[in-house]
Structure 1
Amino acid sequence: MSRIVYVNGDFVPEEEASVSVFDRGFLFADAVYEVTSVLDGKLIDFDGHCARLDRSLSELGMSMPMDRDAFLEAHRELVARNDIGDGLIYLQVTRGAADRDFHYPADATQTVVMFTQAKPGLAENPQAQTGIKVISIPDLRWDRCDIKTTQLLYASMGKMKARAEGADDAWMVDDGKVTEGTSNNAYIVKDGTIVTRQLGNEILPGITRTAVLRFAREAQMKVEERAFTLEEARTADEAFVTSASSFVMPVVEIDGARVGAGAPGPIAKRLRDIYIEEMRRAAS
């Protein structure tokens, strides 16, 4: 059975879904997106994703096409119609369709698309038990990485380079310092202190990042929000990433050199357990 997707107010089979060839999301990547995880049929940190969507749109001079309750209702309807127990909901909002012109159109109607991906056992991802391997690549993206746009080509290139080198992902590096992963925020642990880059235009303000740092502080863990060097990462006791789709994922190797003992460390494992437990409790 095909998925039911949401396109501009309608729930339709994916084979019948379409948007204009003149949509600026297609022509210019003039669009933003969010990814909300689903555990046990409930949405994880929906309000955080909705708030970040509003911010991303505002930074691009766009308004929210629907209010929070309408987005929530549509998300829940997609979960129900596609019988999603564990999985993801992707939401994309574009500026809309208009004849090709670099200038923003004055009267375009925004395009809103949502679809699901079933991920049975999302919280029991076996990679969390073994950890992932990353490589480092130069950060060649534009300077507004804090906006969650659909401009993901360089991230795709990074993931493909990692795969070609037998790794799972790539960490991007600017002036010797790690910014973030291709689709996640990056962390190291040294002498019991969790270190992750401070918020700014260089990184996406991760919703999972916000929750994990809050839980870490509540658990009396020491946190430093600052840039760290690639050399610090290679000599760290632990490393991990966070994202809506992987939660807290240990990193056990960077550029072929093992991190710490070469296995998921105790802080990353504890934070993953705390995050999943707390998010399940607060899920909507």
Structure 2
Amino acid sequence: MSRIAYVNGRYVAQRDACVNIEDRGYQFGDGIYEVVHLYDGRFIDADLHLARLERSVKEIRLGMPMPLASLKLVLAEVARRNRVSEGLLYMQVGRGVARRDHAFPNTPVPVSLVVTVRRVPPYPSSLDGWSMSAITHPDLRWARRDIKSVNLLPNVLARQAAREAGAGEAILFDPATSMVTEGAATSFWIVDAEGSIRIPPLGPTILPGCTRAAMLAEMAEHGMRAEERPFSLDELAKAREAFITSATSFVKPVLAVDGKPVGDGKPGPVARRLFEIFARHVKGAPRNALQ
């Protein structure tokens, strides 16, 4: 069966889907995107993702392509038409089609919307085999990383550097201060030398991860505390544990950084506990459905 995409008001075979060559998302990266995980036909943390989408489009002075209730119907329909119950749904909102000019179009044009979905392997049953290594890499992104922009070239280059080093993620750091920011496509956490769970605080240099937010809420409900406090490459080198979170990685341990083991080089007790907690969140939380 051909995959089906939603493109600017139409459901079309993905192999035939296209956008105008003067689409501003294509020419300038003038747009926003979101990725949502589907589990058992349910959209995980959809409320968080859609709220972040609304915030991001507002930050770049872009309107929503349709009311939120209508957008939810489109997302559900794309999943239904593709018969995907376990997968990743991608949505991209752009400023639309206009004569190429850096400034916004003088005459408003319709906002563009593209939605696709693809199947992914089932949610892992345990951390055994669900781990990775990482490299550190200078953070060369723009100054508003809190906006989920489609401008991802620095992220692409960082991930490629990780791949060429045989690693699964690049952990980004500020070259001026050696302070860690996040992964190229993930939120990054450590358990420091004193046993505290830490993640860099939100701000213009950090994307407000939806899985991060859901994880922090789950931790609070289970009596676990995380410190939203900066940490350096030196502190990372001394960490007992490290792990990433994202809509595609859930909770994934990082066992080595730059070829050196983190802690004893095995998934630690904190990551194991958080994996169990988040698995229950994904599989049973009432909020994980489009309302």
Same topology, TM > 0.5: yes
Counterpart of 1:241 in structure 2 is 244
Distance 2:23 2:155 in 1: 22
Of 212, 215, 221, 1:212 maps to: 215
Question: After superposition, where does 1:1-284 map in structure 2 within 5 Å?
Answer: 1-105=1-105, 106-121=107-122, 123-124=123-124, 129-174=129-174, 175-190=177-192, 191-282=194-285, 283-284=288-289
After superposition, give the CA deviation of every residue in 1:106-149 in whole Å (9 maximum; x if it has no partner).
Answer: 3121110000010031x117876352111001111110000000
Partner SS for 1:221:
coil
Between Structure 1 and Structure 2, how many residues are aligned? 283
Partner SS for 2:21:
coil
Gaps of at least 5 residues in structure 2 are none
Distance 2:146 2:90 in 1: 18
Distance 2:195 2:224 in 1: 8
User: CA separation of 1:41/1:197 partners in 2, compared to 1, >3 Å: closer, same or farther?
Assistant: same
Letter in 2 for 1:86: E
Gaps of at least 5 residues in structure 1 are none
User: CA separation of 1:50/1:185 partners in 2, compared to 1, >3 Å: closer, same or farther?
Assistant: same
Distance 1:141 1:200 in 2: 14
After superposition, give the CA deviation of every residue in 1:164-203 in whole Å (9 maximum; x if it has no partner).
Answer: 1111110110021110000001100123321000000001
Report the TM-score, using the length of structure 2 for normalisation.
0.94
Distance 2:157 2:125 in 1: 24
User: CA separation of 1:108/1:85 partners in 2, compared to 1, >3 Å: closer, same or farther?
Assistant: same
Partner SS for 1:78:
helix
Distance 1:125 1:131 in 2: 13
Cα root mean square deviation, aligned:
1.3
User: CA separation of 1:73/1:184 partners in 2, compared to 1, >3 Å: closer, same or farther?
Assistant: same
Give 1:25 shift: 0.3
CA contact (8 A) 1:128 1:249 kept: no
User: CA separation of 1:162/1:111 partners in 2, compared to 1, >3 Å: closer, same or farther?
Assistant: same
Between the aligned residues of both structures, percent identity stands at 42
Partner SS for 2:74:
helix
CA contact (8 A) 2:127 2:267 kept: no
After superposition, give the CA deviation of every residue in 1:199-232 in whole Å (9 maximum; x if it has no partner).
Answer: 0000100000001111112222221101101111
Distance 1:278 1:136 in 2: 30
